[in-house]
Structure 1
């Protein structure tokens, strides 16, 4: 069996003939596996992951683990973690089609936890999860309980973690550098001990996007792969806190792609209308209107003011709604936030939610 060091690296594909036989095979329908995210369970034997930060956790007693995945496009990246060691991801670079990926084969005998997280997003396609394999003599342990605290964020590339892992002087575009697990939202959720959902898509806006659909078209889908007819059942999972971090792309595009160009009042109303959609889904949740930390929050930008006005108007019209705003300041860095920026924004958001929710 090939031994791979636990470090930041990209796996190739290990075909079945290149991996030693694993004695314990675990179906995706096993109660030992806990799932987090909007997941399509239409086929319980092959649940489909499409949203960024979609995650599974499994506790086991054993020395090795492999995962079988069927990827739509061969563009997705996943992080595997052993025993909650978030600083040492084992990065799986998926290939198109069905393959088995050996995660690790040199664990000390004993109890362990595997966490597998989708780093990339819907535009990289969907992945079918087909099961886990463990060494001979391994056994599953009871699943950990999911957190009672729940945080959901509607956002764009900032929330998806575009460019998060790139060097400060590097480019944004490498798929390997996209990492939803290291975005401000996921970091905040870990700090708060909360289950997390990232309903995000790079390039998306509320009024206009870099493509032909917007968040009001997209937010209620089961599948994150483009604009589609899938429908998410909001009754399946209810967050106590929802963050809406949108308008960055609108700030770049409203003057270029919309004719007529929306007035200030229309921009405020568009955000108001999206707040209304979310409030109707989650009437008891704290809704936080957010923006940043790219140039839409620079000192002379009117965009934070649009959000503040929309929230104030909505509070006036719906006095029982729990509403707040937060701005992640623009630091002058001209690209997508890197991990260091996400960490700073997460610290700000974590403190804000702790105070508001007594978490």
Structure 2
């Protein structure tokens, strides 16, 4: 049984839906939108959204709301939260190409809020936001305040939220059950009233992935759609704290699947982790970095957490890096991706850790 009931919206093309009243499109370049995440604004009227957890917020007037999107593959899902209703969102299933999605034509007159939140990740493709469609006499209001605190997190399917809405005895791969909003990092950021950038990809590792690229090749991209040549400008947005939760896929692919040959030694595994953390440190010389692992079976025994601990101890000693910490999420014995209940428990632990560390 799912913890959160969702209502799945179908796609309604502009040409096939007649509004009761005249409407207007508020272009994506309107200054009253609040954008969060690594977003490609090369075309300001059609910004490209690809990373899990990317969101667009707006306050508006009127009695109706629709969203215009142009989706790359027709595989993405979005939460659409109206007036802060997060427990029962509209879940928008994007169709390929440019479409208009009618969210409601029966809102109460007055002021309203909306958040469009990408549940899925770069694996499902990019989506161009084309704007909101409102009543003819409606308008955007001043946007909500941007949080002053900032968290950035690097991770894999756990951080993305893969399978988190699935039944405990269900499968892990359904796209409509991947919901980054209820992943531990996103919950933690809301707990701390922090803006979050999630840089994650299901199946990715530091030394090896289930596909031909690894996080050291991926973490600095503007677009999350595969391995590409786009470059994120790290000076554009600096976090207050960074969380790294990787090595789960390395543990499977190296120890269980024997996919990386020759099999790296313990020293090589530690060095690979150090190299990646140092690449993040080079971007953010003074930002605390929390090296995490879990809550899948990489924390079932001390081996992989031991690599993280050894790497952190070496960096503290060799680089005099005092802004490094570790946190581990215990393996619960559940064989699949963490479900929402586990994400909540992990978020509670991470929230308390960051709150104490950052004096938040």
TM interval, short-chain normalised: over 0.9
Work out whether residues 47 and 129 of structure 2, in 8 Å CA contact, stay in contact via their aligned partners in 1. yes
How do 1:67-78 and structure 2 match up within 5 A? 67-78=67-78
1:319 maps to 320
In 2, the alpha carbon distance for the partners of 1:191 and 1:206 equals 29
Work out whether residues 11 and 100 of structure 2, in 8 Å CA contact, stay in contact via their aligned partners in 1. yes
State which drifts further: 132-141 or 220-229.
132-141
Please, which runs of 5 or more residues in structure 2 have no aligned partner?
Answer: none
In 1, the alpha carbon distance for the partners of 2:152 and 2:112 equals 28
In 1, the alpha carbon distance for the partners of 2:49 and 2:333 equals 35
Please, which runs of 5 or more residues in structure 1 have no aligned partner?
Answer: 1-5
1:3 maps to none
How do 1:1-359 and structure 2 match up within 5 A? 8-16=6-14, 17-20=16-19, 22-255=22-255, 256-298=258-300, 300-359=301-360
TM-score, normalised relative to structure 1: 0.96
Displacement of 1:321: 4.2
In 2, the alpha carbon distance for the partners of 1:318 and 1:281 equals 15
Displacement of 1:7: 6.0
For 1:99, what is the secondary structure of its paired residue? strand
**C-alpha distance after superposition, 1:88-122 (max 9, x if no partner):** 11100011111000112222112111000000001
In 2, the alpha carbon distance for the partners of 1:209 and 1:309 equals 22
CA RMSD of aligned residues (A): 1.3
Displacement of 1:143: 1.5
Count of aligned pairs: 353
**C-alpha distance after superposition, 1:14-33 (max 9, x if no partner):** 11131415523201000110
In 1, the alpha carbon distance for the partners of 2:100 and 2:106 equals 17
In 2, the alpha carbon distance for the partners of 1:331 and 1:45 equals 46
In 2, the alpha carbon distance for the partners of 1:350 and 1:198 equals 16
Displacement of 1:139: 1.8
**C-alpha distance after superposition, 1:288-342 (max 9, x if no partner):** 00000000001x2400010011011111122244110000000000100000000
In the superposition, relative to structure 1, how do residues 197 and 311 fare at CA in structure 2: closer, same or farther (>3 Å)? same
In 2, the alpha carbon distance for the partners of 1:353 and 1:7 equals 30
Work out whether residues 22 and 136 of structure 2, in 8 Å CA contact, stay in contact via their aligned partners in 1. yes
Work out whether residues 59 and 113 of structure 1, in 8 Å CA contact, stay in contact via their aligned partners in 2. yes
**C-alpha distance after superposition, 1:235-273 (max 9, x if no partner):** 111001110000000000114111111111111111111
Work out whether residues 291 and 325 of structure 2, in 8 Å CA contact, stay in contact via their aligned partners in 1. yes
In 2, the alpha carbon distance for the partners of 1:312 and 1:19 equals 63
In 2, the alpha carbon distance for the partners of 1:120 and 1:195 equals 18
In 2, the alpha carbon distance for the partners of 1:249 and 1:317 equals 27
Work out whether residues 292 and 327 of structure 1, in 8 Å CA contact, stay in contact via their aligned partners in 2. yes
Work out whether residues 315 and 321 of structure 2, in 8 Å CA contact, stay in contact via their aligned partners in 1. no
Runs (4 or more) in structure 1 with deviation over 6 Å come to: none
Displacement of 1:276: 0.3
Work out whether residues 279 and 321 of structure 1, in 8 Å CA contact, stay in contact via their aligned partners in 2. no
In the superposition, relative to structure 1, how do residues 302 and 111 fare at CA in structure 2: closer, same or farther (>3 Å)? same
